[in-house]
Amino acid sequence: DNRLGCYFCNDVVAPENSTRDRTLDQQCTVTRPGLAPVASAMAVELLVALLHHPLGADAPATQPLVGGKAATFSPGGPSSGDNGSASSPLGDVPHQIRGSLVSYTLMTPSVPAFGHCTGCSDEVAGLYRDRGFDFVQRCCDVDGPTYLEDVAGLTAFREEANAKLAEMEECDGWDDDEEESDDF
C-alpha cells in the first residue's frame, strides 16, 4: 500500500481523551485557545495550495532536502526529484504540519499509511462504511480504545512484536553468566 498516512498513522495506540488529567499546555491542539485560529489559517492555506496543485488530491508530499534534491512520497510510491514536483503555484504542499508550542517549532513529516492505523486502516474504514454511527458509538464507549485497537489489528501487532522481542532476548548469543577471560 503506497498511500500517505493520516494523522494517527504515527501512533500505535487508539486515540483517547487528550484533555483528561492534563494541564492546558499539555492538551491537544484543538483545546489550545490561542492556537485554534493559527491552525485553522494553516488548514486554509494547505487546502488552497492543494487545490492549485496540478495533481490536486494526488499531489505528492514535500520531503526534506537530501543532497540538494527533495524526495517526494506520492500515492504512486516514493520518488526523487526537485521540489517542483511537490509544489503548487502557491508553494510546497506538505503532507502534515505538526507543531510544538513548548519549543515554538513546526515540522512537516510525511509518512506512509500504517496497516494497523486506528484512523484509516482498511478494517476501520470498512467497519465505518458498513456500520456508520453505530461503529463510532462503539469506539466511544468505555472499552472503545481497546475495541478500536482490536479492530485495527494493533493488539495482535503489539503481541507479535513483544513475542519477537522475547525471542530475540532468548537467542541473542550472549551469556552474561559466563566468566570473562582475559585470554585472546
**pTM (2 d.p.):** 0.64
The pLDDT value recorded for residue 83 is 41
List of the chain residues with pLDDT < 70: 1, 13-32, 63-86, 142, 144, 172-184
Catalytic residue among 6, 9, 28, 139: 28
Between the alpha carbon of residue 167 and those of residues 156, 157, 160, 170, the distances in Å are 16, 15, 10, 5
Phi, psi of 70 (to 5 degrees): -95, 130
117 is an active site residue: no
Output the pLDDT for position 167.
87
Rounded distance, CA 123 to CA 71, Å?
30
Q: How far apart are CA 118 and CA 128, in angstroms?
A: 11
Q: Give the pLDDT of residue 182.
A: 57
- Are 38 and 104 in contact, with CB atoms under 8 Å apart? no
pLDDT attached to residue 73: 47
